[in-house]
Amino acid sequence: MEIRKVGVVGAGQMGSGIAHVFSLAGYEVLLNDISAEGLNKALSTIERNMERQVSRGKVSAEDKAAALGRIRTTQTLTDIARSDLVIEAATERETVKQAIFEDLVPHLLPHTILTSNTSSISITRLASRTDRPEKFMGFHFMNPVPVMQLVELIRGIATDDPTYQALLKVVQSLGKTAASAEDFPAFIVNRILVPMINEAVYTLYEGVGSVRSIDESMKLGANHPMGPLELADFIGLDTCLAIMNVLHDGLADTKYRPCPLLVKYVEAGWLGRKTARGFYDYRGETPVPTR
């Protein structure tokens, strides 16, 4: 099956990035969100990021214009059901994702492949709520999507090989690299990354180091490009907490217990960059540690 039309659910940071790379690769993209403001913001972000690529010589002005012309938007979820491939990139809450797929199923084309950009939720469980578990996969892009080269492909227990092969070709057409992961909590990247972030929060919670000393230690001592607390702010502390809860619930191992300090920050609404406060305060000219 040839995939030409792609529907993306959710116009946030991940959804807009996914629409960006698919349109540049020649796919027709229909971007859906419940918010008109969110869709307008996504289009502005995509245009600005493509212009950055043009200024760096990575994309021609003609290709940018053509790519932007391939993106359409809609606030009606069922509009995207006529796509060859649907990518759900809504908030990391299973009930929200299930509701999206249940609303889409009655309107889908027989050949449409369903995917979720979830970073941790069971693909098998999401697929079981649809009429096509054999045509359902995890399609996990890394953030920021236009920059990061990896895509995790996660097969549910019922996913068939033609679906996997079709998505493997799609990843290659985007100029990215696929990593195949089994359907266990948080897959590969977040199974390793987010517990490290959680341990960094415990290190802060227990007073072993300050925000700045923890981040500097990992940048200079382990050659990480970004410290773990700075990275947590970039990802979103609510997302980090959601992934830790999935790991803790799914694997029943106390080593995945979310740090109480992480919980406290999320309860305060200090979610990182997107709320201007997390482990750093971003409201001034330069980020300032909040502890």
- Residues assigned a catalytic role: 119, 140, 152, 190
Q: State the first-to-last Cα distance of the chain, in angstroms, to the nearest integer.
A: 53
82: exposed, middle or buried (Cβ count in 10 Å: 0-12, 13-18, 19+): middle
| Residue 278 to residue 275: CA distance in whole angstroms | 8
Among 22, 71, 19, 9, CA closest to 170? 22
CA separation, residue 25 to residues 5, 41, 60, 103 (Å): 12, 21, 13, 28
> Residues marked as binding for NAD(+)?
10-15, 33, 92, 97, 119, 143, 274
> Residues marked as binding?
10-15, 33, 92, 97, 119, 143, 274
Residue with structure tokens 């006529």?
82
Instruction: Give the contacts of 114 (CB within 8 A, at least 6 positions apart).
Output: 86, 88, 101, 104, 108, 127, 130, 132, 135, 136, 137
**Cα angle for residues 195, 198, 203 (degrees, 5° grid):** 125
Instruction: For 132-212, list the strands marked E by DSSP.
Output: 136-141, 150-155, 177-182
Question: Which strand (E) or helix (H) includes residue 29?
Answer: strand 28-32
| Residue 133 to residue 225: CA distance in whole angstroms | 38
Question: Which strand (E) or helix (H) includes residue 201?
Answer: helix 189-205
Instruction: Give the contacts of 56 (CB within 8 A, at least 6 positions apart).
Output: none
